[in-house]
Structure 1
């Protein structure tokens, strides 16, 4: 039985979600404060954590940052937020969350996302490092290495870079990247893809030649070891 930690300070939401998770065969553990959630994460074994952003004691963002800093990316995290702007989404993902849901949400969608993340974790554990030229990425550690330089990747940075590398030489539209990397039907006016491409370029392209991530004007991006200009 998979064990899930739910950190949520609104009692009615926490009760509803915990009962629902148990009805789907999960073991649900609950924390009503951020510092309580962090203590549980340090002392108990979980398969996934669901963290509300706004909690007393410590925010969900702070809990997630501490978790990633001290324990890496082995535990998948879903962030719950009442804030749904691009900046808020990016802030949560940069803290290390694998996914997020905006309140109010449908419980069946939460369960679907939990199951998707649990499947992804299992597949990562069986995935060997992916290499393209002088760049390699490791699914377990979420580290990228280019030449002799090693950098940490957030969960979404890793997923985006992996997707680009597996589609080397192909032109990928922003809509395609939003659908396949973020698993959501975003408003097409969002710039979250451009934000994350900028993050990746800073980590794996700046100071290196050849450049690997290329902008296809008016369309999207292409990962290629060849100059696309």
Structure 2
């Protein structure tokens, strides 16, 4: 995952980076809330780790502003030195998806982040998964079917994994843009259409292998499981 860490303590920053880099996450470090706000204008993150005590802001206020004013819907893990129930409740009510108390423990930090990623459909449960006749290899970031390995770009793989994970569910364009590209709002772009077209072609998602990738007009896209006998052209 792409993770932004808002923590002003150098030692804590290094500790968090060391813990998460080994899991393959991309880490960006920030010491001030103003730095993070500027970065969010041109960078996308799957998850933010926000400390309560910051030199130019309160982490609680940063979280609240991200949710209520900026409309940021990515994952937020809140760090607090307090284990007081009221503080924990306040963090969650202000928009945090989870919290972790200091002192941070490496295995717990890694487990909480991975659990959040799995719940959001960003991280797959295992290093490999089978969906019908398709094998998703999360380590090699490729998809295999009919004994062929199809190598995908990072965005293509993230999009395909999300669609397969939520097979038969309608996923809106806004949701795909936010989860895969980190873009928010009602944005007019052909980016999704281009990637959907590539996935259909590369993975033969016309129903001939048990799945059809359909475009639902003005709504989004749906990965549909179908019987081979009902193969038709994708919308």
Instruction: Tell me the TM-score normalised to structure 1 length.
Output: 0.52
Indicate yes or no: 2:58 matched with 1:54: no
CA contact (8 A) 1:82 1:104 kept: yes
Matches within 5 A, 1:19-98: 19-72=18-71, 74-98=73-97
Counterpart secondary structure, 1:77: strand
CA contact (8 A) 1:37 1:63 kept: no
How far is 1:98 from its partner?
0.3
Query: Mean Cα displacement is larger for which, 87-96 or 15-24?
Result: 15-24
Task: Name the CA shift for 1:122/1:74 in 2 (closer, same or farther; >3 Å).
Answer: farther
Task: Name the CA shift for 1:73/1:39 in 2 (closer, same or farther; >3 Å).
Answer: closer
| Root mean square deviation, CA, Å | 2.3
How far is 1:22 from its partner?
1.2
* Unaligned ranges ≥5, structure 1: 130-139, 141-229
Alpha-carbon distance between aligned partners in 2 of 1:43 and 1:109, rounded to the nearest angstrom: 30
Alpha-carbon distance between aligned partners in 2 of 1:13 and 1:86, rounded to the nearest angstrom: 23
Matches within 5 A, 1:121-136: 121-122=120-121, 126=166
* Unaligned ranges ≥5, structure 2: 123-161, 176-235
Counterpart secondary structure, 1:42: coil
Moved over 6 A (4+): none
CA contact (8 A) 1:74 1:121 kept: no
Deviations 1:94-146 (A, max 9, x none): 110000011002111111111111111128984969xxxxxxxxxx7xxxxxx
Deviations 1:40-88 (A, max 9, x none): 2233100101000110112211111111124446300000000111110
Counterpart secondary structure, 2:41: helix
Alpha-carbon distance between aligned partners in 2 of 1:128 and 1:35, rounded to the nearest angstrom: 38
Alpha-carbon distance between aligned partners in 2 of 1:95 and 1:44, rounded to the nearest angstrom: 23
Q: Select the structure that is richer in helix.
A: 1
Report what 1:5 is aligned to: 4
Report what 1:15 is aligned to: 14
Task: Name the CA shift for 1:73/1:41 in 2 (closer, same or farther; >3 Å).
Answer: closer
